[in-house]
Each structure stands twice: as structure tokens, then as C-alpha cells.
Amino acid sequence: MSGAPNASIQIDDAGRLRHLITTEGLPRTLIERILDTAETFVPAAGAPPKKVPLLRGKTVFNLFFENSTRTRTTFELAAKRLSADVINMDVAHSSRSKGEDDLDTLYTLEAMGADIFAIRHPENGAAARFAAHAADNVAIINAGDGSHAHPTQALLDVFTIRRHRPDFANLSVAIVGDVSHSRVAHSTIHALRTLGTTDIRVVGPKRFLPDNAESLGVTTTGDIAAGLSGADVVMGLRIQRERIAGDALEGVADYHERFGLTASNLAHAKPDALVMHPGPINRGVEINADIAYGNQSVILEQVRNGIAVRMAVMAIIAGNSNAR
């Protein structure tokens, strides 16, 4: 997917957020508006999450063509805290399914009175296809499509970074793992670039490194010491065990030693570097439990912030829809 069509599809004629499909090409002003709005939804320390009536009377469909109880739950909670009615729909997606079937589902659920869809789909570009065919009053939020994009995860990542390290232009970020297949990494890299970060290093074994590093605007290395050297933020990615288990040269233990977020590997980064991970973690694979729950980690903050960021996206899109 090139950025241009997605970028244009998600912004209305007045330059406001219409859908959220990708962070690629999403203007800095819109990203900052989402982050600023999300700040209002983060509960104060020790306080319960806020419940606000911004989506009262609206219906949010969590339309998941790929099973993800955890991500579905974050959208469900965000929508309920905005007082929306929420419908969870897990839809089987077989290799036989066609894009046309998806559109029939879209049109049918629109006719039931859906206002917002959070869509998880195994195919790259699926969310954009839904957006291209959505009715005027219906918005699509991409909850992850193939290895393409996962924009709400990226926004919660930069939101979490901003709360601790607001000077994006002078930030060094290292992303460790299978960036080549990671929608999270792609979306987070785009968001960081737009916010002004220029020093983004992708670290991992050769076959995990993206082919398009230059156009992404990142540097790549297979050397964890070089990749983490002086980094302000170190982000681990969840590893599909299947991708490394069968590999004779590089089993799980070897991967953990070479690329896992461990005390010895982290020693290469700044002493107060933030440790991040999109979750769920594989202990002893891409991260060590002591690090995951250690005092540099903001992993659970990411989860908490994820609700606030998703509330912000839905509230902004619904507000824009009402204003049209």
C-alpha cells in the first residue's frame, strides 16, 4: 500500500480525521490532536477510568476477521467508556473469502445502524477497502490489517513516549525484532518520523530487517550493541515462536541471548532508556521478565494509554462526523 491513497481516504475535505487507517501520511497536527485529546482520558493516579457520554446513542462494531481477544477488549472498553453501545462480531475469514464478501458484510452492518467499525483483518489493505466503501456517516478504524498497519498501537506508543521524552526530534529509538512482518513497527516508525524523530534503528537477524529501510527512514543492524548504543527508547516486538523455533542456527535461547531485552543487552542503551513492548510478551524470548516489569519499563503504561488513545480517536472521529 502506498501512503497517498490511504492518507487521503482517512482525511475529509476540511482536513479532519474521517477514518483511521494508517499513520503513514497522517499529518502531524492530527496526530498531536489525538495525543492531546487522549491526555484528557488518562485517569489520574489511583483514580478509576473516566466514563463520558461522548458516544451515547452511537453503535460501535468490533468486526474481527482474525481472533484477538486482547485488542478487541481494548476497543470494547474504549467504546463503553464513551457510553457507546458495543457489538462484538467475530467473523470467520477463510482463504476462499473474497473482498466482495467483506463489502456485503459492511453494507449489511451499516444498514443495522453502525456508526464506527474497529476492524481487524488478516489482509494488507483491508481497512482501506472498507473505508473506500463506507457510507458517509460511518467511520472505519483499522485495528490491524495483515502486516500493513496498526495505527492505534502506534499512537499509543508515541503517546507513551511523549509523556516521558517529549522532544521527538532529539530522540534515538531502537526497535528490536521482526520489523519486516510487523504492522506495529511499520505504523510506529511512520508516527515517529512525522513527529520529527530521525534516529530510528531497526535491530534483528538479517531476515527480520525490512527491505525498504531507506524509504521507511530507518537504519538497520544485526548488532545489538550498535543498535542500542545511546538509545533513549528500546522497543521489543513479540516474536512468533514458529519463525525462530525451526531455525537450526538460532533457536529461542540463542535469539534471547542475542536480541532479547535483557539486562546485558540493555546496558548498551542509555541508563534510563524506556523499555517498550506492544504485548503480550513472550518471557524468555524477546524480553526478560525482570526487564518487562522493571523500573525502566513502560509496558503496562502502554496498555493503560491504549484505552485513552482509542477513546480519543473514536471521540474525534464522531465529533467530526457530527460536524459534517
Q: How many residues lie near a second copy (CB under 8 A)? A: 46
Q: Which residues pair with 282 in a beta bridge?
A: none
Cell representation of residue 76: 470494547
Kindly tell me which residue out of 52, 226, 253, 300 binds a second copy, with binding defined by CB under 8 A.
300
Q: Which of 196, 280, 290, 324 binds a second copy (CB under 8 A)?
A: 280
Does residue number 303 form part of the binding site for a second copy (CB under 8 A)?
yes
- Given the complex with a second copy, which of 164 and 207 has the nearer CB atom? 164
Q: Please pick, from the candidates 281, 312, 313, 316, the single residue that binds a second copy as defined by CB under 8 A.
A: 281
Pick out the residues of the known binding site for carbamoyl phosphate.
70-71, 120, 150, 153, 279-280
100 binds a second copy (CB under 8 A): yes
Q: Which residue has the cell 542509555?
A: 270
Q: Rounded to whole angstroms, how far apart are CA atoms 170 and 174?
A: 13
- What residues numbered 130-169 form the site for a second copy, per CB under 8 A? 137
β-strand partners of 261: 287
In the complex, what is the shortest distance from the CB of residue 61 to a second copy, in angstroms, rounded to a whole number?
8
75 vs 208 by CB, closer to a second copy? 75
**Residue 37: which H helix or E strand, with range?**
helix 28-41
The reply to whether 252 sits near a second copy by the rule CB under 8 A is no
- By CB under 8 A, name the one of 14, 53, 57, 246 that touches a second copy: 57
The SS3 of residue 261 is strand
Give CA–CA dist 45/169, Å, rounded: 29
- Number of neighbouring beta carbons within 10 Å of residue 117: 28
Take residue 289 and report the three cell numbers written for it: 521478565
Cis-peptide, bond into residue 280, ω within 30° of zero = yes
Phi, psi of 83 (to 5 degrees): 75, 20
- Distances in whole angstroms, Cα of residue 113 to Cα of each of 95, 109, 131, 137, 154: 29, 7, 16, 10, 29
Nearest Cα to Cα of residue 301 among 270, 320, 279, 322: 279
Closest CA to 290 of 264, 255, 262: 262
Interface mask toward a second copy for 59-98; x: CB under 8 A: x---------xx--xx-xx--xx---x-x-xxx-------
Nearest approach in angstroms of CB 128 to a second copy is: 20
Least spacing, CB of residue 83 vs a second copy, in Å: 10
Using CB under 8 A as the criterion, which residues of the chain lie in contact with a second copy when the complex forms?
43, 46, 48-49, 51, 57-59, 69-70, 73-74, 76-77, 80-81, 85, 87, 89-91, 100-101, 104-105, 107-113, 115, 137, 279-281, 283, 289, 293, 300-301, 303-304, 306-307
